[in-house]
Amino acid sequence: MSNVLRVGLAGLGTVGGGVASMLAANADVVAARAGRRIEVVAVAARDRARDRGLPLGEAAWFADAAAMAADAGIDVVVEAIGGSEGIARRVVEVALAAGKPVVTANKALLAVHGAALARAAEARGTPLAFEAAVAGGIPVIKVLREGLAGNRITSVAGILNGTCNHILTTMRNERRGFADVLEEAQDLGYAEADPSFDVDGIDAAHKLAILAAIAFGRPVAFEDVHVEGIRGISMLDIGFAEELGYRIKLLGIARREGRGISTRVHPCMLPAAAPLARVDGVFNAVVAVGDHVGRVMLEGRGAGAGPTASAVVADLIDIARGRAAPVWGAGSGDLSDAPSVPIREHVGPSYLRLLVVDQPGVIADVAAILRDEGVSLGSMLQRGRKPGEAVPVVLVTHDAPEAAIDAALARIDALGSVLEKPVRIRIEEGEA
């Protein structure tokens, strides 16, 4: 074994730059924990002439990241390009085909192509490590795959997108609307110019698909994750949630159900005293429940150069020490074939907000529809009277099947006295 683990770094953006900086700044600590030095000996990036202020030393430059991945002078490839297709996918496939370990922070790639990449890694007996792909510096992959390996995991849930959590926290604390807070988040660098992956829940869904695969020992199934974002959350909902004793969070939730595994990402109302409800700002948190360990919660910064680099370097240290675990916690032949349970089979309470004309008979009409669809009401809020004008009405249901809520909302939306599409937010009393 060489006394140096030679790293090829594909991509020098936030993640790649953070990895290069951390390996240089903490070289002595990393070497002591890895048992040998870990050095970046090659990089691939679009613009060689650009001064990034990174400690790259005499690292070889490659215009073609895939060619770098195949180079015999590299022991391990760090893919920090991002995206589920194109050169990022090619780099990982080339490295695995050459028998080189891969470390990646690319949640989209793993969520979409993780099953095939896991088989490729297993066929060559080489590690595919991705601690940084979920929750940045929080070691949730290692905890689920190794620390809780003896448990039957019953559920895993969490705040998996710091941008959404920052937006919802700021809306609540500063009483500002979604569009205004989103624009500020873009100015601060918390949200991209095109924020769709974050605010529409796709980023969180990528991460949840990975967590569910590890927690339940089955192939990753991104296409089965139900996804909703936070664009429809208004200050009205934030205010009513507080009045009812809740806080609104975008959660990813995966559960072992009676006949399979359910995976869903959507806004939730959580009791204000619940641990996840108190996780604010750009922080992430994950709660896992095991049959013997009980409830375990991890919290920390889920993005940024430092936290993400911390997770990548931890994976490199494992590789340097020869430590590796199966990608999804078990070999391909031992993975579960548990089916995915669709969102339409979910049963639980809901918050429903309507904007209606304040006139006699409106509430009776709504109540009759809920009764006909088998949805039982727990409480109702209406503040003030404005005869003939628009007023918000909030209904909180008892546990009800998803299909019944959907049918009731479709009929309520068709009422002439209902002025805009009803808002529905699921309530999660138990978090996970």
CATH number of the domain enclosing 42: 3.40.50.720
Count CB atoms within 10 A of the CB of residue 25: 12
Q: What angle do CA 261, 264, 266 make, to 5 degrees?
A: 165
Q: Residue 48: its pLDDT value, please?
A: 66
194 lies in the same domain as 81: no
174 lies in the same domain as 39: no
CATH code at 251?
A: 3.30.360.10
Return averaged pLDDT per consecutive 10 residues of the chain, 432 residues in all. Answer: 87 89 94 95 80 75 92 95 92 96 95 94 94 90 94 96 94 94 86 88 96 94 96 94 96 94 97 95 95 95 86 96 90 88 94 90 92 93 78 94 95 92 93 54
Q: What angle, rounded to 10 degrees, do the helices at 27-34 and 14-25 form? A: 80
> Which residue numbers are catalytic?
207
Domain end call among 133, 153, 183: 133
- The range of the structural domain enclosing residue 82 comes to 4-133
Place of tokens 């974002």: 229
State the total domains in the chain.
Answer: 3
8 lies in the same domain as 147: no
Q: Residue 51: its pLDDT value, please?
A: 65
Distance CA(356)–CA(395), nearest Å, equals 13
pTM of the model: 0.92
Q: Residue 49: its pLDDT value, please?
A: 62
Distance CA(253)–CA(265), nearest Å, equals 6
Q: Which residues contact 350 (CB under 8 A, 6 or more apart)?
A: 396, 397, 400, 405, 424, 425, 426, 427
Does residue 323 belong to any structural domain of this protein? no
Q: Which residues contact 214 (CB under 8 A, 6 or more apart)?
A: 141, 144, 145, 328, 329
Does residue 419 belong to any structural domain of this protein? yes
Sign of the CA dihedral with 254 first, then 219, 343, and 203 last? positive
Domain end call among 133, 149, 171: 133
Closest CA to 119 of 389, 304, 327, 310: 327
Q: Residue 432: its pLDDT value, please?
A: 52
Distance CA(211)–CA(254), nearest Å, equals 8
CA dihedral 200, 272, 370, 340 (to 10 degrees): 50
Q: Residue 13: its pLDDT value, please?
A: 87
Does residue 103 belong to any structural domain of this protein? yes
Q: What angle, rounded to 10 degrees, do the helices at 107-124 and 86-97 form? A: 20
3-state secondary structure of 83: coil
State the amino acid at position 197 in one-letter form. F
Q: Residue 73: its pLDDT value, please?
A: 93
Distance CA(214)–CA(148), nearest Å, equals 11
Closest CA to 162 of 203, 193, 126: 203
What are the Cα distances from residue 280, in Å, to 158, 159, 272, 316, 397?
A: 12, 10, 12, 30, 27
